Amino acid sequence: MMSVKHLLEKDETKGVKGDNIPLKQPVISFKKDDDYETPKYIWEMICNEKFISKNKKLYDPFYCRGNTASVMKELGYECIHPDEDFFTNHHRYEYDILLSNIPFSIKKKVYEELKKIDKPFIVISPISTITKKYFMDNFKNDDITIIIPPKRMQFMKNGKQLKECWFDTVFICYKMDLNERIIYI
Ligand SMILES: C[S@@+](CC[C@H](N)C(=O)[O-])C[C@H]1O[C@@H](n2cnc3c(N)ncnc32)[C@H](O)[C@@H]1O
């Protein structure tokens, strides 16, 4: 994959420091790619009796390759996991906790919808989410718990475990009655 450094070097062709021609800002565009799967080891950290009792019905509305339902079954949970648009279909399901690794490229829209739904959730999200205006506007005064994993989470793509996630992600929990604002696993 082309690195940001490489893109900068490639596009930064107009003008050099010292002459009077302003340096052209490089145009960098990133392809939206949300198709990362959550490996079982990540779900094991949260899907246990310490955080979620086994009688809770889960709902992962973000499908990708559809792994979550089978992983949840292995961990002893029932999980609704349909392959369809979340925003137009979530009202069709009865569940106790929405549990998902959400598409990060539309997380503002997802969190705004989660606030409207107003049901308990546990969502994997970049740690930087909690300082975003949209997040604070919606959840600052609510029952939010941040659960921090012992090391940086690494995700899967097309069934293959990756190692190069360069940012930290956490579990953001809403109305889970965990009685603490931050929990380190
Ligand atoms: C980060 S993946 C996680 C998949 C799965 N929840 C997991 O934990 O393995 C998020 C997925 O949501 C999908 N997605 C994006 N927008 C969506 C929408 N409006 N409704 C349903 N899925 C969507 C993306 O295509 C992507 O495959």
Summary mean pLDDT of the chain: 89
pTM: predicted TM-score of the whole model, two decimal places: 0.86
Which domains are present in the chain?
Answer: 1-30 (no CATH), 35-184 (3.40.50.150)
| HSE, side-chain direction, 13 A CA sphere, residue 34 | 14
| Confidence label for 13 from pLDDT (cuts 50, 70 and 90) | very low
The CA distance from 179 to 66, in Å, is: 32
Give me the amino acid identity at 37.
E
- Residues with C-beta less than 6 Å from any ligand 1 atom: 34-38, 60-64, 67-68, 85-87, 100-101, 103, 106
pLDDT in tens, 25-47: 555 444 579 999 999 999 999 99
**pLDDT tens digit sequence for 43-81:** 999 999 999 999 999 999 999 999 999 999 999 999 999
Burial (0-12, 13-18, 19+ Cβ within 10 Å), 109: middle
Give the whole-angstrom CA distance, residue 183 versus residue 153.
16
Task: Extract long-range pairs of 110-119: CB within 8 Å, 24+ residues apart.
Answer: 110/86, 111/135, 111/138, 111/139, 112/138, 113/86, 113/87, 114/174, 115/139, 117/90, 118/175, 119/95, 119/175
How far, in Å, is the centroid of ligand 1 from the Cα of 3?
25
